[in-house]
Amino acid sequence: MANDPIRAEIEQEVAANPILIYGKGTKEMPRCGFTLETIEFFNRFGYPFEVVDVLENMEKREALAEMTQWPTLPKVFIGGTFYGDTDILGPMDEKGELGAILEAACGPRASRSVFLR
């Protein structure tokens, strides 16, 4: 298939980065409000994450949309699993589900915040 090398590249990136965001623009210069929002979302957790800019790579965007069955950017992968965007991750975080997923993917952080309820 013509897009096999692209899929292989995506699979490699997903495997190499515990937290990976496909978005529009870079971490330093996001070029879309939702990509910026996603970067700010992950900044709060203190785990390292990677942003791959696919704004102008239509072939890769199409391959990603097919692989995830998800039409929009940004797209977030954690520990090799697709989690959608902050519309999904926000509610997961509110329910207290995200911390364990991030820790499983990235390992424990040096300093952890403790939330009391």
Q: How far, in Å, CA of 50 to CA of 19, rounded? A: 6
Q: Say if residues 20 and 47 touch (Cβ distance below 8 Å).
A: no
Q: Does 83 bind other proteins (CB under 8 A)?
A: yes
For residue 84, the minimal CB distance to other proteins (Å) is 5
- Applying CB under 8 A, the span of 9-17, 51-59, 86-94, 107-115 interacting with other proteins comes to 86-94
Q: How far, in Å, CA of 67 to CA of 90, rounded? A: 23
Among 15, 80, 87, 104, binds other proteins (CB under 8 A): 87
Among 26, 36, 55, 70, binds other proteins (CB under 8 A): 70
What are the residue ranges of helices labelled H in 17-79? 33-43, 58-68
Q: Does 49 bind other proteins (CB under 8 A)?
A: no
Q: How far, in Å, CA of 49 to CA of 34, rounded? A: 16
The residues near 31 (Cβ < 8 Å, ≥ 6 apart) are 24, 25, 53, 55
Residue closer to other proteins, measured from CB, 12 or 72:
72
Q: Does 107 bind other proteins (CB under 8 A)?
A: no
* Residue ranges binding other proteins (CB under 8 A): 32-34, 69-72, 82-84, 87-88, 91-92
